[in-house]
Structure 1
C-alpha cells in the first residue's frame, strides 16, 4: 500500500508541476506578445507621429514665410528657396506610415502645392496674388488636418499600449491566483491520500 501511495503521490506532483510549467510557458508567451505590442506602439508613436508632427510644423512654418513674403517683398528669403524647402519636407514626410485618412489629406496637400508651383512659375507680373494666397491657405488647412491626425493617432496608439498593459496586469494576477489554487489543490490531494492511506493501514 505504501509503494502505491508513494507512486500515486509522485504522479500527482508530476502532474501539478506539468500544469505549472504550462501556465508559466503560456504566460511567458502572452507577456512577450504584450511587450511586442507596447514596443511597436512606442516606436510607431515616435517615428510616425512625433517625427511626422515635426515635419508638419516645419512645412507650416514655410507656408507662413511664403505668405509673409507676398505681403512684404523686402523680406530676405525667396519663394523659390521656400518651395525647395517645402518639397524636401514633403519627401521626408512621405516616408512615414500613413493611415487611409492621412494619405488622402497628404495627396490633397501635394495637389495644392503643385498648383501653387504652377502659379508661381509664371512671370512675376502675371501671378495672381489672391489666388496664390488662397492656395497657401488651402495648404495650411491640409497641414492643420495632418497635425490633428498625428494627435488622434498618437492618442489611439497610447490607448492600445495601455490596454495591452492592463491585460498583462490582469493575466499576472490570474496567474498568481491559479498558482495558489494549484498549490492548495496539490497539498490537499497529498495530505488526503496520506491520511486515507494511514487510515486504511490502521484498519488492516
Structure 2
C-alpha cells in the first residue's frame, strides 16, 4: 500500500474516530445531567416531601393533644412532638436546599425551638392558645416548603427534559454526519490522482 493510500485511510478513519469520541462525550455529559436530575428528584424532593408530610402529621397530633388531652398529657405530647420534629429536621437538613428553602426552613426550626418556651409560661388556656397559634405558623412554613418542593421538582424535570432532547438532537446530527463522512471517505479512497492526470 502506497504512502498516499495510507494517508487517505488514516484520514478517513481519524474523521470517524473523532466524530464518535465527540458525540460520545456529549452524550455522556447529557446522561450525567439526567442521572443527577433524577437522583435530585428522589433524594432532594420526594424524600423531603415525605419528611414534610411527617412533620405535618406530628403538628396535627400536637394540636389534637392540646385541644383534647389533660394538661399533663399535653405537656408530654409537646415534648414528644418537639423531639420527633427535631429528628425530622436533622433528616431534612441532609437534603439539598435552595436559598429560599433555607430561609423558610430556618424559620420553621426556630418555631420548633420556641415550642418548649411557649409551653412553660402562663395559664393553661393562654399556653394552649399560644401553642395553637405556633402550630398554625409551623404548618404555614411546612406548606411553603411543600410548594418549594413542587417548584424545584419542576425545575429538575425541565433539566432532564432538556438533556434528553439534546441527546436526541445530537443522535440525529451524528447519523447525518456519519452518512456525510461515509461519502467523503468513499471519495477520498476512490479518488486516484494518477488516473485523473492520465485522463486529462
Q: TM-score, normalised by structure 2?
A: 0.88
After superposition, where does 1:52-71 map in structure 2 within 5 Å?
52-71=48-67
| Counterpart-to-counterpart distance in 2, 1:13 and 1:173 | 26
| Counterpart-to-counterpart distance in 2, 1:162 and 1:80 | 45
**Equivalent pairs, count:** 197
Name the SS for the 1:128 alignment partner.
Answer: helix
Go from structure 1 to structure 2 and tell me whether the alpha carbon gap of 1:114 and 1:201 turns closer, same or farther (over 3 Å shift): same
Q: TM-score, normalised by structure 1?
A: 0.87
Please list the CA deviations of residues 79-101 of structure 1 after superposition, one character each: whole Å capped at 9, or x if unmatched. 22122111111121112111000
Q: 2:198 maps to which residue?
A: 201
Go from structure 1 to structure 2 and tell me whether the alpha carbon gap of 1:202 and 1:88 turns closer, same or farther (over 3 Å shift): closer
Go from structure 1 to structure 2 and tell me whether the alpha carbon gap of 1:8 and 1:64 turns closer, same or farther (over 3 Å shift): same
Q: 1:188 maps to which residue?
A: 187
Q: Is the 8 A contact 1:116 1:135 kept in 2?
A: yes
Please list the CA deviations of residues 58-80 of structure 1 after superposition, one character each: whole Å capped at 9, or x if unmatched. 00001111111122116897222
Q: 1:11 maps to which residue?
A: 7
Indicate the RMSD between aligned Cα atoms, in angstroms: 2.2
Runs of 4+ that moved beyond 4 A: 74-77
| Counterpart-to-counterpart distance in 2, 1:164 and 1:49 | 19
Please list the CA deviations of residues 146-177 of structure 1 after superposition, one character each: whole Å capped at 9, or x if unmatched. 11111111111111011111111111111111
Q: 1:45 maps to which residue?
A: 41
Q: 1:82 maps to which residue?
A: 81
Please list the CA deviations of residues 104-149 of structure 1 after superposition, one character each: whole Å capped at 9, or x if unmatched. 0000101222222210133663743222211110000000011111
The partner residue of 1:22 within 18, 21, 35 is 18
Q: Is the 8 A contact 2:34 2:163 kept in 1?
A: yes
**Larger Rg over CA atoms:** 1
| Counterpart-to-counterpart distance in 1, 2:151 and 2:32 | 22
Q: Which runs of 5 or more residues in structure 2 are unaligned?
A: none
After superposition, where does 1:152-171 map in structure 2 within 5 Å?
152-171=151-170
